Amino acid sequence: MLLGRAINLDMIDADVIYYPNFFSTKDADTYFNSLLKNLHWQQDSIIIYGKTHLQPRLTAFYASNKNRYKYSNIVMTPNPFTGDLLKIKDTIESELKINFTSCLANLYRDGKDSNGWHADNEKELGENPVIASVSLGAERVFHFKHKFNKEQKRSLTLQHGSLLLMKGKTQAYWLHQIPKTKKDIEKRINLTFRIIA
Ligand SMILES: O=C(O)CCC(=O)C(=O)O
Ligand SMILES: [Fe+2]
């Protein structure tokens, strides 16, 4: 199944659509196993208030161009897309009619791995970044909070084979995170397709 049900999160100052069953369970299983084995997973160090920490997850970066991606003092140099990533990218592009150049992949090894509050607003992503975010493996909770209006919050569970599309003003007005969880959970892979000029 492709696209399937589309849920507009109806957020103010944002444009976010969730496709819970973008990929079939069978395709999602196959991609998960293959990406887990074949991507160049690495654990980078980040500097927070002058102190060096290991990032609480593994990452890997792929692109069809040579453009690097800089965030949190990390500079990522792209690997060429793998066959799996190209297939996933092609599927998303033909369904959404949007073309992407790059993919930042995240591997959350267990519930202790996380992704802190941030917006994907680096200048190489352009004015209104379009980010198509694929979830594979264990379900994780995803939080949004408005940058200026404390009452505006959203929480959803990102399921295996789902796609979360963020565009428009989303990154200008909202932060998002994957919090840690005490639950005993398995690995999750996330692929964020982006346009990096
Ligand atoms: O793992 C996720 O669903 C979110 C990843 C994310 O926000 C990012 O890589 O910028
Ligand atoms: Fe993000």
- Give phi and psi for 173, each to the nearest 5: -115, -15
pLDDT digits (tens, 9 = 90+) for 71-120: 878 899 999 999 999 999 999 999 999 999 999 999 999 999 999 999 99
Share of the chain above pLDDT 70, in %: 98
Which residues lie closer than 8 Å to 26 by C-beta, 6 or more apart?
A: none
Q: Which domains does the chain have, with CATH numbers?
A: 7-178 (2.60.120.590)
- Least confident range of 71-75, 107-111, 138-142, 179-183: 71-75
Q: Output the CA 190–ligand 1 centroid distance in Å.
A: 7
pLDDT of amino acid 2: 61
- Is the distance from the beta carbon of residue 144 to the nearest atom of ligand 1 less than 6 Å? no
How does residue 35 score in pLDDT terms, banded at 50, 70 and 90?
Answer: very high
pLDDT at 25 over 60: yes
Alpha helices in 18-82 (DSSP H): 25-38
Q: What distances in angstroms separate CA 139 from CA 53, 157, 160, one per listed residue?
A: 26, 6, 6
Whether the per-residue pLDDT at 26 is higher than 80: the answer is yes
Q: Which of 117, 191, 192 to mutate for ligand 1's pocket (most ligand atoms within 8 Å of CB)?
A: 192
- 104 CB near ligand 1 (under 6 Å): yes
Sheet strand arrangement including 115-118: 115-118, 174-178, 140-146, 153-158
Q: Nearest ligand to the C-alpha of residue 178?
A: 1
The pTM score is 0.96
Span 124-138, average pLDDT? 97
In this prediction, residue 1 carries a pLDDT of 52
